[in-house]
Amino acid sequence: MEKPPSNLDELKKDPRAAGLLKNQALLQSLLSSPDTRRLMELLQQRGGDGLKAAAARGDTQALAGMLRQVMDTREGAALADRLRRAVPPEGPQK
């Protein structure tokens, strides 16, 4: 099975994402936060097996569609907003 292409280069072009990738402590904190865990639960509820399949294929359009469905809910939007505010505007500093 062919490995899906990485979007890492695209992420590095965004100052906030690039800064976050450089700050492993903040990245780990965000990944293990209750807000991230709940957001992943909502994605799993919406996408089910399709979420795992899309991730395995690297199908960013399908993943974005599932994320959009979650973001269209009050809870999903609030979770994403709290996560967005946890990252400094110009990216985290070391």
pLDDT tens per residue, range 46-91 = 888 888 898 888 898 998 999 999 999 999 999 999 998 988 776 4
- Answer yes or no: pTM beyond 0.85: no
Q: Tell whether 56 is covered by a domain.
A: yes
What's the Cα-to-Cα distance from 80 to each of 9, 57, 72, 77, 91, rounded to whole Å?
23, 24, 11, 5, 16
**21 within domain boundaries:** no
Report the candidate in 46, 52, 50, 49 with the shortest Cα–Cα distance to residue 73: 46
Domain membership of residue 81 (yes or no) is: yes
Residue 76 lies in a domain: yes
When divided into structural domains, the chain yields a total of 1
> How many angstroms separate the most distant Cα atoms in the chain?
38
Question: For residue 41, what are the domain limits?
Answer: 34-89
In a domain, 1, yes or no: no
Q: What do you get for the CA distance between the two ends of the chain, in Å?
A: 38
Note whether residue 53 is domain-resident.
Answer: yes
Strongest mean pLDDT among 1-5, 6-10, 78-82: 78-82
Residue 8 lies in a domain: no
- pLDDT for 52 equals 86
